[in-house]
Amino acid sequence: MTRIIIVGVVVALAIALNQVFARRGKQSPTQADPTMPTHIDRSDFADEQKEWLVLAFTSSSCNTCADIERKAVVLRSQNVAVDICEYSANQSLHKKYAIEAVPTLLFVDADGVVRKGFLGPASATDIWAALARVRDGVPDTHGENCN
């Protein structure tokens, strides 16, 4: 009987410790009603002289963020800079631009104006097509998940 009580106490302690550590490990900024910035200071990010900036605000603890990063980096070109702003490494930039949820993917023009944004998961087709539309000056008609 004593062994059963000891095992029960150990299991209960393990569950409690697991919950405490799980809460401490969550560093991703998330909110119920996040918004996206409308203007970015291009000097805060890579290749400010390029015509376009694809900016991904992410977190290392977010699987969807890793997917967005993979889709964003292939957009890098002669006219397009890509910058990944990971939360743990760049908390001050997440705060400066009031990024409350990740992933947040932004298409920023040379003047720092955010021309398009995605909040949360997005398909590669939607991302690539959106960049083509903003570069060509075509109005966006795709409203889902977008700014």
pLDDT of residue 46: 82
CA distance 95 to 87: 9
The Cα-based distances of 76 to 20, 68, 84 in angstroms read 40, 14, 12
pLDDT of residue 31: 47
For 134, phi then psi, to 5°, come to -70, -35
The answer as to whether 15 is a domain residue is no
The answer as to whether 143 is a domain residue is no
CA distance 143 to 50: 27
For 84, the domain range is: 42-136
Number of domains in the chain: 1
The answer as to whether 57 is a domain residue is yes
The answer as to whether 66 is a domain residue is yes
Both structure tokens of 135: 């570069």
- Amino acid occupying residue 145: N
The answer as to whether 124 is a domain residue is yes
The answer as to whether 147 is a domain residue is no
Which residues in the chain come in under a pLDDT of 50? Answer: 29-32, 142-147
pLDDT of residue 145: 47
pLDDT of residue 7: 64
The answer as to whether 10 is a domain residue is no
- Positive or negative, the CA dihedral 47, 48, 51, 52 is positive
pLDDT of residue 147: 47
pLDDT of residue 13: 67
CATH number (domain holding residue 127):
3.40.30.10
CB atoms within 10 A of CB 106: 25
pLDDT of residue 141: 56
Give per-residue pLDDT as tens, 24-52: 655 554 444 568 999 999 999 988 899 99
